[in-house]
Structure 1
Amino acid sequence: MKNTLSRGLTNLLPMVLSLWLFWSLFISLDGLGHFLLDIVELDNAFVGTGFILVAVLVFISGLLFSFSPFAWLYSWLEQQLMKFPLFKSVYGSIRDIAGLMKSDGKPKNQKTVLIKQANGGYVVGFIMNQTAPKPLTDALPDGDWVPVLFQLSYQMAGVTSLVKREDLIEVDWSFEDAMRFNLTAGISAKSITATNAKKPIKDSAKDTLVDSEPEAKNSDNKH
């Protein structure tokens, strides 16, 4: 019975939580739309009218941003509001997160890499940008430094570290699968069956074995 309950929970919980989150988002946007309709004193024809209104407004705003005068006006307003420190911090963070969803067909900067640790192990990281901020590179020793994110398991938080590009091992692994691997501490079945790392790790392992064999032979000769 325990296994049956566990099997049901494992299969239903992701679906139920996902549907609940999307439904909550739908209700929130629908309520915002209803609020806008109440302002102009229009009747709500059916459930979802507010959501459709918000979607139409977002689409129209996307069209407006394609025109230079509107984009310039919005940019000017943004610069004025960014003069307030608290607004700058909050708005800047939200804008950066929203910018991750905008690809425009360009290749993403995020790449999956491995970084060797002092104990010989490797940590999965993500190159979030190809260049580090100038104030940091000016303070660091000479080298090609890049910001690398180390994601913490079961948390959305992570640690950003500056690592020399020559110390990174690029991995032929999608950002989404590698992020899932880190977030679930390797439990995710899809991340385990994803593409394996490139050859540098295997080569380095072989080099270690090759280097260790002569030492073993020398120690046998001494005996």
Structure 2
Amino acid sequence: MKRTLTRGLMNLLPMALSLWLFWSLFESLDGLGNVLLELVAIHPAFIGEGFLLVVALIFAAGLLFSVSPFTWLWGKIERALMRFPLFKSVYGSIRDIASLMNRDGKPKSQQVVLVRQANGGYVVGFIMTDAPPKPLQDALPEGDWVPVLFQLSYQMAGVTSLVRREDLLPVNWSFEEAMRFNLTAGISTH
């Protein structure tokens, strides 16, 4: 009986939590859109009208960011707000995570690699970019160094280490599958 309950829980819980998360996001965005509609004295006629408004506003913002004067103005506002240390930390982190999700035309060069450890074991890592920033290149000894991300299990955090390219063993494995392997400490197989 315990095994049957566990099997049911392990199969239903991920789906239930995913659906709940997406429904909560939908309701939140719909509520925000409804507030905006009511500000201009329009009462929502159907469920999802506020959500559609928010999606349309995000699309319009995307169009605005393709226009140089608006991008210039946004950059100016961003730089002004970056003078506040707490805002700079929070905003910078969120912007960096968002940019990881949208590479917008940049090549996705994440390569899965194995890095040999001193004890003879290997650690799964990810080459996220082909070269370290110039200040690090200048400080490092001669060699072809690359930043390698070592993702920590069950966390969004990871450790970036600079490793010589010749010490890396490339792996023919998709980034998503290898990341899932690392994030779940090898428990997830699909």
TM over 0.5: yes
One-letter amino acid of the structure 2 residue matched with residue 27 of structure 1: E
> How far did 1:183 drift?
1.0
**50-59 vs 26-35, which moves further:** 26-35
How many positions carry a matched residue from both structures? 190
RMSD: 1.5
Q: Which runs of 5+ in 2 are unaligned?
A: none
One-letter amino acid of the structure 2 residue matched with residue 7 of structure 1: R
- The equivalent of 2:46 in structure 1 is 46
- The equivalent of 1:199 in structure 2 is none
Please state if 1:65 is matched with 2:36.
Answer: no
> How far did 1:105 drift?
4.2
One-letter amino acid of the structure 1 residue matched with residue 72 of structure 2: W
- The equivalent of 1:103 in structure 2 is 103
- The equivalent of 1:19 in structure 2 is 19
Please state if 1:181 is matched with 2:185.
Answer: no
One-letter amino acid of the structure 1 residue matched with residue 91 of structure 2: Y
Give the alignment's TM-score, normalised by structure 2.
0.92
Q: Based on CA coordinates, which of the two structures has the bigger radius of gyration? A: 1
- The equivalent of 1:193 in structure 2 is none
Q: What is the distance in 2 between the residues matched to 1:94 and 1:75?
A: 16
Taking the TM superposition and a 5 Å limit, the aligned residue runs for 1:1-223 are: 1-190=1-190
1:57-98 Cα offsets, whole Å, 9 max, x none, are 001111111222222221222222223222222211111111
> How far did 1:155 drift?
1.9
> How far did 1:137 drift?
2.8
Secondary structure of residue in 1 paired with 2:143: coil
One-letter amino acid of the structure 2 residue matched with residue 3 of structure 1: R
One-letter amino acid of the structure 2 residue matched with residue 177 of structure 1: E
1:188-223 Cα offsets, whole Å, 9 max, x none, are 122xxxxxxxxxxxxxxxxxxxxxxxxxxxxxxxxx
Q: What is the distance in 1 between the residues matched to 2:96 and 2:43?
A: 37
> How far did 1:182 drift?
0.7
Q: What is the distance in 2 between the residues matched to 1:105 and 1:173?
A: 22
Task: Calculate percent identity across the aligned residue pairs.
Answer: 73
One-letter amino acid of the structure 2 residue matched with residue 14 of structure 1: P
Q: What is the distance in 1 between the residues matched to 2:142 and 2:12?
A: 52
Secondary structure of residue in 1 paired with 2:160: strand
**7-16 vs 95-104, which moves further:** 95-104
Give the alignment's TM-score, normalised by structure 1.
0.79
Q: Which runs of 5+ in 1 are unaligned?
A: 191-223
